Amino acid sequence: QETDKGTYPYYMLKEIDEQPNVMRKLAQMYLQESGKTNVEPELVAAIKEADRIHIVGAGTSYHAGLVGRKLFEKLTHTPTEVHVASEFAYEKPLLGEKPFFIFLSQSGETADSREVLVNVNAENYKSLTITNVQNSTLSREATFTMLLNAGPEISVASTKAYTAQIAVEAILAKAVGMAKEQVIAEEFDLRQQLGLVATGMQAIIDEKEEIEDLAKEYFVDASRAFYIGRGIDHTVSLEAALKLKEISYVQAEGFAAGELKHGTIALIEEGTPVVGIITQDNTASLTRSNLQETLSRGAKIITIVRQALAKDDDTIVIPDVDEMITPLLSVIPAQLLAYYTSLNKGLDVDRPRNLAKSVTVE
């Protein structure tokens, strides 16, 4: 049964493990061999017309939106903003003539996100919900729906929904970009890339014992930790830190690598774990020097590095995929680090204190 844990000790590990298959499934569902997509033409047309895209989400879904912004801006050439759902109502941005709203919600039930959708509908703006749950509230109330098809996600800490959301955003951005005749979208072989991602995820998961060793050595006894990166790696650092906080209660912060020195580096002490995420050509050496700055203040360093940029002493090397979708791979070691930290602290991985899978109050 889909909702059965089987031989897994926790749903979270099962759901981490399912990610390669989710990637393959999404490629099959939405991408044709010819390079065309199976995205609803009316949806593509509605986004093509928009002068600005607004992505709305909470928690991990918000973090998937941060990656989505980069995909939409690169592939569709449409200015894109990302909003924390619970802030939107009070900080309502100045909307252009033709905004288009994308709601990201695993459950499709988050009250904060729904509140924004109610407002969006009142203004007659068009919207899309990207969700894992067919017929959920957000799916019923938005103009369009795209399904994640990731299978039920039971563990409170979201894993496969995050990567599925990013993959679906990439598919949609490619579809719209192609409709807008953007060369970069036409040349982006996403079907092939998602195949590489699936294999790459599997390769990382196959090395999970080594990641467990790192979790024990770096995080189990730590009171605080940092993930740092630049650009798209920064967005992953936020999700990586959230995973660790949620289930292991280590106070973790995701930080823009270059901004650390402007204050937060004061928190680095002897033995503070700092994880650097390095997947982009143009920022790799800069992030490396920011890591050095923490090292010289006593930090213990882990690196998560894309193969083409890897050096001998890097800790975790992830396979090469297109730079636009590296979060699909760089997040996997972070999910496993969080999982094993929680497990080795003897905590209930799937049911962390104070948290709910879906929050239906504002």
Task: List contacts with ligand G6P (CB under 6 A).
Answer: 58-61, 105-107, 110, 113, 156, 158, 355-359
CA distances from 92 to 55, 62, 87 (A): 13, 16, 8
Place of tokens 């973790």: 252
Decide whether 118 or 356 has the Cβ nearer to ligand G6P.
356
Q: Which is nearer to ligand G6P, 107 or 139 (CB)?
A: 107
Q: What is the DSSP string of 275-307?
A: EEEE--TTTHHHHHHHHHHHHTTT-EEEEEEEG
Helix (H) or strand (E) holding 317: strand 316-318
Coil, strand or helix at 105: strand
Q: In what order do the strands lie in the sheet with 300-306?
A: 251-256, 224-229, 273-278, 300-306, 316-318
The closest residue (CB) to ligand G6P is: 59
For 173-227, give the DSSP string.
HHHHHHHTT-HHHHH--HHHHHHHHHHHHHHHHHTHHHHHHHIIIIITT-SEEEE
113 vs 272, beta carbon nearer ligand G6P: 113
CA-based torsion, 111, 115, 120, 124: positive or negative: positive
Minimal distance in Å, beta carbon 338 to ligand G6P? 12
Question: In sequence order, what are the residues at sequence separation of 6 or more whose Cβ sits closer than 8 angstroms to the Cβ of residue 292?
Answer: none
- Our CB check for ligand G6P shows the closer of 267 and 359 to be 359
Which residues carry out catalysis? 357
Q: How far is the CB of 61 from ligand G6P (least distance, A)?
A: 4
In whole angstroms, the minimum distance from the beta carbon of 309 to ligand G6P comes to 30
| Amino acid, res. 276 | G
CB of 108 to ligand G6P, least distance (A): 7
Q: How far is the CB of 188 from ligand G6P (least distance, A)?
A: 26
